[in-house]
Copies of this chain bind each other. A is one copy, B any other.
Amino acid sequence: MSELLEFGKKILKNQPFSALLGTELEVIEPGTAVLSLAIRPDLRQQHGFVHGGVVSYLADNALTYAGGSVLGDSVTSEYKINYLRPAIGDKLAAKATVLSSGRNQAVCQCTVIANGDAGERTVAVAQGTINKVDR
C-alpha cells in the first residue's frame, strides 16, 4: 500500500460521516481517486434506489480526494452533478480525476458507477473545483 493511500485511508477513517456510510478509499494516486461503498437498505430513498444525497456525497468526496492528491489538504469549493439513471445494485464507486491544477486550486471530474446483477452502470457525472486549505 502506497504512503498516499495509507494517509488517505486514515483521513477517511477520521470522517465520522464516511464511517457511517461505510465508504472505502480504493485508489489514490497523483491526479486520481476512487471511493466506494456497499449499497445498504438504509442508504435508499422512497423508491428503493440509492438516495441522490449518497451519490452526491460520494462524488463530492472523490472530487476532494482527487484534488487533494495533487494539492495536499483540500476542500471542495463547489461542484455540479447530473444524475443519469437510478442507482441500484450492490456497490457504488466514484472515480475522480484532475483535469487541471495550479498551486491552490484543481478542477476535477467524477463518474459514479453502480455495480450489481445488472452489470456496471454510470449513474452520475460531476465536475467541480477543489481548493487547497489555507494555513
Measuring CB to CB, which residues of chain A are less than 8 angstroms from any residue of chain B? 11, 14-20, 41-46, 50-54, 56-58, 60-61, 64, 75-85, 99-100, 105, 107, 109, 122, 125, 127-129, 131
Contacts and interface: CB of A to CB of B under 8 A. Distances in A.
B127 A127 contact: yes
Nearest to A85: B100
B125 A127 contact: yes
A73 to B, nearest CB: 9
A99 B125 contact: yes
A53 B56 contact: yes
B56 A84 contact: no
Given A52-B76, A85-B100, 20 more contacts: A11-B46, A15-B51, A16-B43, A16-B51, A17-B43, A17-B50, A17-B51, A17-B53, A18-B51, A20-B42, A52-B57, A53-B57, A78-B80, A78-B129, A80-B80, A82-B99, A82-B128, A100-B122, A109-B109, A109-B125
